[in-house]
Amino acid sequence: MTLTTPLVDNRSERERAIDEWLPVTSSRNAKWWYSAFHNVTAMVGAGVLSLPYAMSQLGWGPGVSVLVISWVVTLYTLWQMVEMHEMVPGKRFDRYHELGQHAFGEKLGLYIVVPQQLIVEVGVNIVYMVTGGTSLKKFHDLVCNDKCKDIRLSYFIMIFASVHFVLSHLPNFNSISGVSLAAAVMSLSYSIIAWSASLAKGVQPNVQYGYKSSTTAGKVFSFFSALGDVAFAYAGHNVVLEIQATIPSTPEKPSKGPMWKGVVVAYIVVAICYFPVAIIGYWVFGNEVSDNILISLEKPKWLIAMANLFVVIHVIGSYQIYAMPVFDMIETVLVKNLNFTPSFTLRFITRNLYVALTMFIGICFPFFGGLLGFFGGFAFAPTTYFLPCIMWLTIYKPNKWSLSWIANWVCIILGVALMIVSPIGGLRQIIIEAKDYEFFS
């Protein structure tokens, strides 16, 4: 639907001042390419490195099918969200929960969207604390070549977190565009290193493509867990409306034009990163591949060390992309509901506390990847695979059995199935990993 009504600003002076201070609505001068690299940074997480491992649990046919179907379905649901951003003339849904409130009602929309969005964004931030610390440790160990003192992972997570105690004070999305661009370039770089180094290594002797588990239960649970890993790889929808909110919009030139252009470029980059890494990594190592392809590679040492450093830089940018909507939610509640005055001090305290919290949880539970497979099933699948479809059906009401109606119901059925099975696999993974676990290891 195109905008026909000019934007009328009915906000009070105080509301306008608050909107100009909040991270999502304070700056609306982004270009289409900001959307491209923000989306690449949000989407291509370090999860790409676990895709060969997911393939080893899924097998050739199901593995390739799940990757392709996920790419198509999530691109379709992302297009729906871009379209719905300005479907009401003269209004913009700058946040995921605002769209939810329009579709499901003022209160129900909040209850449906906010908990899921928070699980995804806070969960990803905790995982990235662990990923950043782990990759930093790998870089340190590779460069030292066993000549340095062994340093615990907890300290590397603290070193990684120290960067965020500084970067988290950048006020809004546009101010982190430089960090995001560097992160997007890094994600492309380490993906290329992962598949090209695998290709150079060649197919390993005695490579096997059968399932690793000998028991039927083991095969089934591993299959479910792998579905959760793939869902995690397509988690960018949680920040898409917030990214679109930074693009200028007029009735003649709505923001969905430049936003969609950026999304298409981002999805081409996603395909360039995901498919070669998943397929070549699995082809070379078979079911012996590690849950991080860089561990399986080992040599050449300098190249793998560099790839780990690229992962660290990428995860720094990704952390900020996912933290920004959380900062926006916290600051909105404090300023609009609890009547705090917008100030630097308020922002300084809340953001530092948030970074400290994600760091602390990351140090306590470095097997958080399993936890994410568990929680991720509840939140990743809905927000990415089928919540946009339910909103679309609720708002646009396409004719029964029309192409739009069928496509949305197919996505909903696939998404609900994913939501049910991936936590089962994740829970088993947690139980297995927790057996040998020591606090603050």
Each residue of 97-106: pLDDT tens digit? 888 898 888 8
| Nearest-angstrom CA–CA distance, 324 and 327 | 5
pLDDT in tens, 242-275: 888 888 888 888 888 889 999 999 999 889 889 9
Q: Is the pLDDT of residue 4 over 60?
A: no
Q: Please report the pLDDT score of residue 358 as a whole number.
A: 92
* Structural domain includes residue 125: yes
B/e letters for 339-372, b = 16+ CB within 10 Å, e = fewer, are eeeeeeebbeebbeebbeebbebbbebbbbbbbb
Q: Is the pLDDT of residue 44 over 50?
A: yes
| Nearest-angstrom CA–CA distance, 408 and 77 | 9
| Nearest CA among 275, 190, 167, 187 for reference residue 236 | 187
| Nearest CA among 231, 214, 264 for reference residue 385 | 231
Reported as a pLDDT band with limits 50, 70 and 90, residue 1 is very low
SS3 content of the chain, % helix, strand, coil (to 5): 75, 0, 25
Q: Please report the pLDDT score of residue 31 as a whole number.
A: 81
pLDDT in tens, 427-436: 777 777 666 6
What's the gap between Cα 433 and its chain centre? 23
Cβ–Cβ < 8 Å for 317, 41: yes
Cβ–Cβ < 8 Å for 246, 173: yes
The pTM for the full model equals 0.86
Q: Is the pLDDT of residue 375 over 80?
A: no
| Nearest-angstrom CA–CA distance, 112 and 98 | 11
Alpha-carbon radius of gyration of the chain: 22
DSSP 8-state code for residue 238: G
Alpha carbon separation from 411 to 39, 281, 435 (Å, rounded): 21, 28, 37
CATH number at residue 305: 1.20.1740.10
Give percent of the chain above pLDDT 90: 16
* Structural domain includes residue 2: no
| Nearest CA among 19, 15, 9 for reference residue 328 | 19
Give percent of the chain above pLDDT 70: 92
DSSP 8-state code for residue 340: P
* Structural domain includes residue 60: yes
- For residues 286-298, average pLDDT: 78
Q: Is the pLDDT of residue 46 over 70?
A: no
* Structural domain includes residue 441: no
Backbone angles phi, psi at 105, to 5 degrees: 105, 155
- For residues 18-36, average pLDDT: 80
| Nearest CA among 144, 292, 279 for reference residue 229 | 292
pLDDT in tens, 327-345: 989 998 898 888 888 888 9
| Nearest-angstrom CA–CA distance, 389 and 412 | 7
pLDDT in tens, 157-171: 999 999 999 998 888
Cβ–Cβ < 8 Å for 226, 57: yes
Name the domain count of the chain: 1
Range of the domain at 158: 17-434
For 219-223, 236-240, 431-435, which range has the lowest pLDDT when averaged over its residues? 431-435
Q: Is the pLDDT of residue 110 over 50?
A: yes
What's the gap between Cα 211 and its chain centre? 28
* Structural domain includes residue 10: no
Q: Is the pLDDT of residue 9 over 70?
A: no
Alpha carbon separation from 35 to 55, 97, 236, 261, 273 (Å, rounded): 30, 20, 12, 8, 18
* Structural domain includes residue 440: no
Tokens of 217: 């239960």
| Nearest CA among 127, 180, 103, 183 for reference residue 380 | 127
Tokens of 404: 């739009």
| Nearest-angstrom CA–CA distance, 371 and 388 | 25
* Structural domain includes residue 281: yes
| Nearest-angstrom CA–CA distance, 280 and 192 | 11
* Structural domain includes residue 7: no
Q: Is the pLDDT of residue 438 over 70?
A: no
